[in-house]
Amino acid sequence: MAKTKEIVTEALPTIADKPFFEEDTDFKIVAEDAPVMLWLTNSEGKVVFTNSKWKKFVGATTEGQLSGETWLNALHSDDRDDCLHVFRDAFQSHQPFEMEYRLRRFDSQYRYILDTGEPYINKEGKFSGFIGSSTDITDRKNYENRLHLSQLELTQHNREMALINELNSYLQVCRSLKETHAIVHYYAKRIFTDQSGALYLFNDDHSLVEAVATWGEAQFFSSLAIASDDCWALRQGRLHIVEDPDNAILCHHVLPNINQGYVCSPAIAQGEMIGFLCVTLGDKHDDKRGAWTSVESRTRLISLAADNLAMALVSLKLREALRNRSLHDPMTQLFNRRYLDESLAHELANCHRNTTALGLIMIDIDHFKTYNDTYGHDAGDFVLTEIAEIMRSKLREHDIACRYGGEELVMILLGANKETAAIRAESVRAAIEKHEFTYKGKALAKVTASFGVAACPEDGHSSHALLKAADVALYQAKDTGRNKVVLSQS
């Protein structure tokens, strides 16, 4: 291009007061055969020459020179003001210029053009206009745009992977499934920006699939607790993709009048389906990247997130099951002595810090050895499990029931003073006394139990002090006739 401009410039005559290109044969030959579009203006900015390549680009069919109006009309409307500003500055300063813009070709397609202009100074030193070249750089621009989009996609992908890795790192140290819900909610909003969604998990008995974490527009979902056959992804065990809600089979858990597509991805790991992830496709245009993102790329992200969530949650369920097994008595399914020691120490520390009360009930089944000797150990185990069930029926949400050892049981009542604990103990005692124990079709003799009640802070702030006080009260109940509730003497 530089060589072409040099040849053309050398071919220009030095006579400024007449249209030299009409008389200069050398200039015409060079300009017409130039591999780029060439143009010339006079000192007033009027276009006085365009070569054949320029005319061919715009589809001119007439002989003669094209006017500046032709160029202006072919300019993309979004580029017009900037181009005119560059031209005005160049003609005022008589300085070279370069600019890029979109120009409509003869086939009505807009092409990217690189336009350069050099001021022409005649032999007398006067500014006589501009000589310029216009090069179609559309292919180069398209390559640059593709490269830029690839870089943006890589950056976006790396960001998404970093967030998913962060999510996994938190899920791996969660102590329970319930603790994961807030974490999934927090990271889902950051991974699926400007999109709505929900993570649905099966409940304990697999009778329902419940939304444990939601984000975005809640109006997208018809219900947060659904049957397993309400989602096509769960029915089929594979992705269910809805691009156009007006021409697709919708799941029953989304509203029928939704105006955007969505993807449901089953959450499966180690052969276990634990639920599904549902995310809207959102706006197909990514304004931050200035590009259209494909349904395929968004679907891949949703599927990847569902797979990662499934793996993390199945692993957590296994850890939680193992921990629960290690903390529960296998026969009664009450917490065991290990859990009692851990939880009582923790709750007593909270009581001391927050100046709240805690009640403790120690229970011993009356004449339990006699039941074992009379009816057998299996019947004795049956009595223990029945009493454990009675205890569970009397618990509030945060209370704790444990098997202390043998036929001794313990209830920890958070926020209960000694008087309240005594009332709760009497309720359990009466329920045991009233209960009819029938084992293998045979009615057992009446079962009763004795109760010792202690409380924090009256009986101390340590586990040892509280258990000792309740134990003393329990033996007082047994020594004074059994089947009664006795409060510690603090």
Q: CA separation (Å) from 261 to 23, 167, 225, 301?
A: 67, 25, 21, 15
Query: What pTM does this model have?
Result: 0.62
Give the pLDDT band of residue 64 (cuts 50, 70, 90).
low
**Ordered domains of the chain (ranges, CATH):** 2-136 (3.30.450.20), 142-325 (3.30.450.40), 337-487 (3.30.70.270)
Query: Does residue 457 have a cis bond before it (omega within 30 degrees)?
Result: yes
Decide: 465 and 423 in contact? Cβ < 8 Å: no
Beta-bridge mates of residue 121:
127
pLDDT at site 400 = 96
pLDDT at site 214 = 92
Helix (H) and strand (E) counts in the chain: 14, 20
For residue 23, the 8-state DSSP code is T
Q: Mean per-residue pLDDT for 268-282? A: 91
The residue ranking higher by pLDDT, 260 or 66, is 260
Residue 292 has pLDDT above 80, yes or no: no
Render pLDDT for 5-17 as a digit per residue (tens, 0 to 9). 443 444 343 333 3
Percentage of the chain with pLDDT > 70? 90
Percentage of the chain with pLDDT > 90? 60
Separation of alpha carbons 172 and 167, rounded Å: 9
Tally the C-alpha atoms within 13 A of residue 95's C-alpha that lie toward its C-beta: 8
Gap between the terminal Cα atoms of the chain: 103
